[in-house]
Structure 1
Amino acid sequence: MSARRRLRPLRTRLLVLIGLALAAVCAAMALTTVFVQRAYLLGNLDDRVDTAAERSLGGARLHPGPADDLSFLMDSGHSTGMLAARLDDDGSILAAEVVSANAPPRALTDAQRTALAGVRTDGSTHTAAVPGLGTYRVTVAESDGVRVLTGLPMDDVQHMISGMVVVEAVVAVAVLAAAGGLCAVVVRRQLRPLGRVAATAAEVSRAPLDRGEVTGLTRVPARDTDPASEAGQVGAALNRMIDHVESSLTARRRTEERMRRFLADASHELRTPLTSIAGYAELMKRGSDGIEPVLAWRRVSAESARMTGLVEDLLLLARLDEGRPLQSAEVDVAALVAEAVWDARAAGAGHDWELELHLDDAPSVLGDEARLRQVMAHLLANARVHTPPGTTVVTSVESTADRCLIRLRDDGPGIPPALLPQVFDRFTRGDTSRIRSGPQDGGSGLGLAVVAAIVSAHGGHIDVESEPGRTEFTVVLPSTAGEHAGDRRVDLMSMNSP
């Protein structure tokens, strides 16, 4: 079902609601107008009735004839249809007549007199239905013992009110129709952006988000993302959601690619020592003359150790990726770094190893000492393996109240610029440009990845800067405050054993 069809029920409901609201407003206005006009016309008629009553009472007082004398109705100036009656002290009608056009006043019938008999003599204006004459507004005036009932017909007022009701109804219907048509146009125009938003959402829903590369998803046009309107807010929110979906799918695709590449690299790295072990084992089994059993056994042991180290690094990375907590204890970074540098000197006597300490506080961190030793071992081994003999490697420790910095700097050939952004990625190697001291020092490309993972697990971070003649790794760890210590420089080549 298209977006336009989906919006049709909403448009219909809006139009119905608007129509009902307009009908209610028109009805209220019409009723108010009718009631106000009716009150005005009745008030005007009541004033005329009171005036006619005063005149009739005055005429009755000027004709002191019998108590049932209505000769004052013969005087000119009385309205056609006006009726008058003389009342006794008990309020009973003695005589009643109605003024006719171009004829003498005509006496009321008994039925008509009976209809007027129930009018209260309280001086107020009342409504009475007189048979054969219609509806009247009547009142009773009294003075010096003379009582006169006077009434005027309401036909003109009722006809005027009825005509007004008809006019109001016609006007209300016309206004309602015009307003309904205008509202339909406005609602349809205002819902067009929402229709385009719905169409965009429908198009995105048809995209194959569960497979393949998803790029260039349709966005809501900029004209339909105005934050000043509700439809624009919906369009802008939909665009943000589409952006999040695209970025999430891109990140997932990259993660899957990295995972596939990681599995391929890990499989390759594990297959190499396994192939060597299988080959030497087969040679030992056959007892080949060209291979000494001791040499074959050494190669098997070396390849086994290499595979064991690779598996241990992979397991460590997996644990760190899962966020498993490390052991936590206070670690003396200065002592740890010094021992690691001494170990590196023993393994790489052809390099110039130096240690510098610049300490404002005792360089203590809260962490896993074994893993931090592993960090230093990997960094120093990386400097030893990827720089030629004679390279100077300077390791420094700096400490402040809130952090501890370990810097490892060498004057080797440096890291290629193209490799620098991926230097901490897994299975990244720099063999093509950095010199190895021997084939036995070949690595799996996991060392710096393990370093970055361990440092991150301790709440720190590691950075690298490199150019020909200078490469510097900087490890920043959160520090625990300690005692003050002065600066000192240690040249390990000038020292005896630790």
Structure 2
Amino acid sequence: MSAADRAHTRPARWRSPAGWPLRTRLVATMIALLAVLGLVVGGTAELYLKQSLYSQIDDRLDEVQKLSRGFGGGPGGLKNPDPSQDNSVNVPPGAEAKWIFLYYDSSMVQQDGGLLQYRDPSTTTTTNNRYSGYFEPLTDSEKATLLSAGANGDKKTVAVGDRGNYRVTLFKTHSGQPGSSQSNGYTVVALPLSDANDTLIKVAGFTGCVILGSLLIAGWAGALIVRRTLKPLDRVAATASRVAELRLDRGEVQLAQRVPAQDTDPRTEVGQVGAALNRMLDHVGNALEARHASEMQVRQFVADASHELRTPLAAIRGYAELTRRSRQPIPDELAHVLGRVESEAKRMTTLVEDLLLLARLDAGRPLAQDPVDLTMLAVDATSDAHATAPRHYWQLDLPDEPVTVIGDGARLHQVLANLLANARTHTPEGTTVTVKVGTMPNAAVLQVIDNGQGIQAELVPHIFERFARGDSSRSRAAGSTGLGLSIVHAVVTSHGGKVGVQSRPGQTIFTVMLPATVPQVVPSAEHHTPYLPRVG
């Protein structure tokens, strides 16, 4: 995955829960469910508590209403008869500060009342059990709000200006002795809800803290439980990752990785996955063994056939040359036929030699490990190419200091010779071919650059495959076996290096990168390398 793909995928992962790890989704789901449950339970408890507190306030309003009806309300009915308490009024027993009492006559003209500011139990009389207090007047808008409760005795919650919310009721009152039916006016009684609302706020805050703390504890404990529960799945994933890192494309593969027996219990979901993965690995291992056995047979056949064909081909070439050297005159037609026999014998010999070399490289035959000066190798190969194709323009781009690697000099010379032959064969006369030698961190770089017509885009991914050839748009002045670039790839890969190509009309670049040190493991010769960056 490229850097751009990773940059695009990372934010999308956190934007959607579908991209979260399984353990994260499980913990998040559990916390979400607990949060919803906590909100439902807390909200239900809050509503029940509110109803209970408001019900208690309504009960007190009913009690005040009963006491007020038998208390003798009306114009002046609540005035304290004691001369020493001229500025005080009498209120029903149990009244508290901040309660509101408003007294109206039958014409709804206020006679007395207001916001009770004081109550003195020491002024209680023995005859009527009255309490004295002082009223603070209310504004007209506050009175109008309180009167909106209606005169049928219902309870209503209203906001009395800046004084807060009150629970209010309005009822008829009578003067005279208890039980009198003489209508005298109306009484408004309002009890503050501040204490009840404070209680609700405190309970809600406490409940919220408890829910939040519970969610934190549940999230921490849930993460531990989920992590421990998913450990078998992690072990299964680790096994699959180790298998994915194995080279399965070529050669003998020891597929010994298996899911541990403890994680293959078919009674659990993870065990079912582990058992299925083991069965799949068994099938893949058997298929790889069969494939390797077939490959070995083919390689052995190619090696044996190539080796056996070398002798008769050499004999054919020898007899053809011997016939041409005869002192007896040979007809022109026969001479042409013998020339063609010798030419095709040479071509077939080259093909057999290439097949034999590939078979030996596939078999992992070790190469020479000697210091090789890539600078001199480039000079010699370019000189040979110039002698072969003098109508191409050959150039060298060499560093000031020699570039040396460890490897097989003859095989590396063959790599460069094949790349130059490829450029010579598939580009027209007058094409400029440049051989460039350079270095990169821990690697030496060899490039062959031409300004020909380029390689077709659909051929580039298969350019290093065996017997891969371009179509007729890339004309060839000489025959090609289609093995030259596959030999380049096999030799470079056997040296632990990489080879790639970049091509567009007017420029084709073959890049060979060789390690500065000898690789400990020789990669497969059939591994195709992606495009390599151009070295500046």
The structure whose Rg is larger is 1
TM-score by length of 1: 0.43
TM-score by length of 2: 0.40
